[in-house]
Amino acid sequence: MKLILTAAVDNLGLAGDVVDVKPGFGRNYLLPRGYAITWTKGAEKQIEGIKRARDAREIRGVEHAQQVRSQLEGLTVTLEARAGEAGKLFGAITAADVAQAVKKAGGPTLDKRSVVIAKPIKTVGTHTVGVKLHDAVTAHIPLEVAAAK
């Protein structure tokens, strides 16, 4: 089965790559999750747009990753969540919540899969969240979780 990847998939390829996979893997995993679209001559034209979007948010090298790390670590990221009176959250803070809060704080657009939360964030207060920018570079962002009013 021939597919065009719309997101990076481990051990398979990056967004915009044309891959040939077994039909079950494509039909049951890649397509339902939105990681790929079926290859057609019309979809072939979309590859350039997918690659342009990937290049816009991709970390180009170790030096670029270090620049982004310094930018991220200089941010003050605040996230409001519903909490009880004792400061315990109703639920937990997810990687997608952190990525959205970083963008709202003026930081770069992050992929939620690059956000690493060591232990679940379930309380109000200051927490440290990691962002894997490159194999050799990880940024540690201070995250202030506040109770929503």
pLDDT in tens, 22-39: 999 999 999 999 899 888
Higher pLDDT, 26 or 40: 26
The answer on 49 and 77 residing in a single domain is no
In tens, the pLDDT along 50-102 reads: 777 666 555 656 777 778 788 888 888 899 999 998 989 998 999 999 999 98
The alpha helices in the chain, defined as continuous H runs, are 23-25, 31-33, 41-44, 47-57, 62-73, 95-104
For the chain, how many structural domains are there in total?
A: 2
The residue type found at 69 is R
Percent of the chain with pLDDT over 70: 93
Determine the pLDDT at residue 58.
58
Domain of 72?
62-147
Residues 6+ away with beta carbon under 8 Å from 106: 75
Rounded Cα distance, 88 and 67, in Å = 35
103-116 tens-digit pLDDT: 888 888 888 888 88
Within this chain, do residues 83 and 136 fall inside the same structural domain, yes or no?
Answer: yes
Looking from the CA of 32 toward its CB, the CA atoms found within 13 Å total: 6
